Every structure is written in structure tokens, then in C-alpha cells.
Amino acid sequence: MINQKQGTLVCVGTGMRMAGQLTPIAQSYIESFDVVIATVPNIFTRKWLQGMAKEYICLNDHYDDTKVEGKSRRDTYRRMTDTILKEVRSGRKVCAAFYGHPGIFACISHMSITEARAEGYDAHMEPGISALDCLVADLGIDPGNDGMQSMETTQFMIYKRIVDPSSLLILWQVGVAGDLTLKRFDTEAVHLELLVKKLNKYYPLDHQIFLYEAATDPLEKTRIDRINLGDLSQAKLKQITTLVIPPSIDMEKDQEIFDQLHATIIERKLEPQAF
């Protein structure tokens, strides 16, 4: 079926650090599309995007919805999506820009693309450099070594998730841990105490964890604070803090599967390596 509709949507990521982490393809969409619609917290990144775009619509003020009684961040995300779709429906080429990767912990891009496609518009996402990519580089952690679990902190708290303490655990949005109102932009000691209590089922209180905040412009310094799990409730957290929990135990071998694989190697007179 040929798409008859004029409007186009592409969602791009700006990376975490200003300028240097923008991919060439994302930059070309930002420069050439009719309008750039963005929610980017760093003021320098915002100004820099504004300078490149033909027209710029800033979505940051949509967060004020959370100050209205009965409204939460869900209303903010809905209104942001509606603002993007309105421009697409008017037949324009729309570039929606998000910091980091546009599809990681960024429901607006996913909603906008799904809804635009359902209405018959061309819509796609270009990958960007996320906080996780920076974390891997800055902390020198290879998620391939022990495997990795990654989840939103409040989701981890309120659902029965299966945690594997022999793998790396990344908890996002620890700075709003335990906020059930979806209105707050901070957390409090009592929420963090509950988080520590839950994590303590899997990790000892003296387990060393990291508070990670990637620098987002050349004036900032990357934060990598190593603390004991038991001290988390007293730590200073920001909206951008990511909690990194290295494994506390070694992986346990599944001897049954291992022996079966081993037998297939021996059968073929091949030489197994040590694992």
C-alpha cells in the first residue's frame, strides 16, 4: 500500500554528552526536517539543537502538568505525544529528539511511532548513545562477562522480580525510587530504606554498589561513587542517577547441561576448552 499521507516522523537520540555523541544520521534529520520537537534537560544541548533546527518546539514545560491536581507524568507523556502527532498530521517532516537513546526509558517516542504508523504515516526511530552505553565505558564493565539485568527502580520494588545476584543489576530512575504518585522528581529516605530492604534479600549490606551520573556537558564531572548498599538511604541522589550493582556471588554451573554438551564434543573427538 502506498502511503498517501504527507507527514513523517523520525525519533532520534542526542546522546548523553553534548555534541560529541550525536550520530551523523540524527544530525542530518535535525538539520533538514521541518521541525525539531525535543525534551532535552541540559540547557546547552537545548541551545545547540535550537541553533541547528529550522524550527524548534520545546516540550519541557509539559512537565508542569504534574503540578495540576489529579494529573501525573502519564498526562505529561500523553500531551508530549499529542504535540508531536499534531505536527505530523499537519503534513510536516517532524524530528522528535530525546536525550540518550530515544527508545530507552522514553515511552513518548514509542507511543508516537506506534500511533503515527497506525494512522498511515511513515515513522521510525534511529538509535542513540544511552546512559547505559556511557556507564559501560566509564565504569569499565562488560555486560557480557556476567550477564546483565536492567529495570526501573520502582518497578523492581513493587513487583516480584527474579533477581540473579551472579549478574550485573542496573536500576534506572533510583532518584525517584518508590514514587507511586508519578508526580515527584525526587525520592526520600523511607523509600530508599525499603529499596535497601528488598535488595538485601539478594546482596549483603556491605556489598559495594555504584551511583553513576554521566557528565552531560564539558563543564560537568562524571559521578562514580562507590558506596555500601547499607548506606544507600543516606546517599544524595538526582533524577539522573543510575544505580549499578555488581554481582555478589559467582555463577553456578548447570552441570547437567554442561555434561551433555561436553559429551557431544567428546563424541566428535574435539577438544573442549575450560569454562
Task: Count residues near ligand SAM (CB under 6 A).
Answer: 20
Which residue in 77, 121, 203, 212 is the catalytic one? Answer: 77
**Nearest by Cα to 224 from 200, 202, 247, 208:** 208
Between 85 and 240, name the residue whose CB sits nearer to ligand SAM.
240
C-alpha cell at 173: 530512575
Site residues for ligand SAM, 187-246, by CB under 6 A, read 212-214, 216, 239-240, 242
Site residues for ligand SAM, window 80-109 (CB under 6 A)?
98-101, 104-106
Residues 2-61 that bind ligand SAM (CB under 6 A): 16
- For residue 73, indicate whether it is catalytic: yes
Whether 268 is catalytic = no
DSSP code for 273: P
Q: List the catalytic residue out of 17, 46, 99, 121.
A: 99
Count the alpha carbons within 13 Å of 177 in the hemisphere toward its beta carbon: 28
236, exposed or middle or buried, with CB in 10 Å at 0-12, 13-18, 19+? exposed
Rounded to whole angstroms, how far apart are CA atoms 263 and 259?
Answer: 6
Best CA proximity match to 153, nearest among 133, 130, 175, 132: 175
- State yes or no: residue 131 binds ligand SAM (CB under 6 A): yes
* Helix, strand or coil, per DSSP, at residue 225: strand
* Closest-approach residue to ligand SAM (CB): 100
Grid cell, residue 120, equals 498511515
Closest CB to ligand SAM among 85 and 170? Answer: 170
63 counts as catalytic = no
Q: Which residues are catalytic?
A: 73, 77, 99
The residues that touch ligand SAM, with contacts defined as CB under 6 A, are 16, 98-101, 104-106, 130-131, 172-173, 175, 212-214, 216, 239-240, 242
